[in-house]
Amino acid sequence: MLATKPMTIRPLRFILQAIHPDYACPAFEAMFEAEQPVELQALLGPDAHDDPDFEKFYWLERTDVAAICERFGVPFDAGDREVILYKYTELRDIPYLVHTNYELPLMLERRKKLARMYHEYPPHQHLYEDRFDHYVAQGLLHKEVDVELFDSPIHARNGRIFEGLRTAYYTPKGEEWRIQAWRLIEKAREKRAGTIR
């Protein structure tokens, strides 16, 4: 009988990200490797037990951050900022900074002309909507919201019930026309897809 080699577990890379309190985007971050990802899973607790491939994003308490930094030797001090942990993905290999998660500061700098946040509801707001609304109230951004009900509510495996899809659109002031242009493009795309079927 041939001896089989013991299965080796490849180390995984992870990102710790501190969130800017005003702009709802990463302020700074640190990368680290976990040679035994199961050790990180244990530190993350029950939420990670059903996530063997680390597909989720994890919002960490300060004690969680401290434990992870100590165990994996990560020099990372977020202060009072919120911290997210997630697995390194191929998106990070792109040789430029993608706009995902940087929509708010890019719009305030007028470098991004339209942002679209869509998700199932409830909840009836997207993550950090209050931060976006702060700049809407100041007159720096324009906001519109579309709500589309599902034919029947969707029951998720975790027990949550979703009634529809909610989309919040944002533009810098003076660029409001882009929202209607987007809607028209989407309608044309849906109509074309319907005729192709």
SS3 149: strand
Mean pLDDT of 23-32: 94
- pLDDT above 80: residue 195: no
Q: Taking the C-alpha atoms of 145, 57, 17 and 122 in order, what is their torsion angle to the nearest 10 degrees?
A: 20
Query: For the chain, what are the domain ranges?
Result: 12-93, 103-196
Mean pLDDT of 154-171: 89
Could you tell me what percentage of the chain is helix, strand and coil, using 3-state DSSP and rounding each to the nearest 5?
Answer: 30, 30, 40
Region 12-93: CATH code: 3.10.50
Q: What order of strands is seen across the sheet that includes strand 115-121?
A: 115-121, 161-172, 141-155
Nearest to 119 by CA among 170, 186, 168: 168
pLDDT digits (tens, 9 = 90+) for 77-135: 999 999 999 999 888 888 877 888 899 999 999 999 999 999 998 888 998 999 999 99
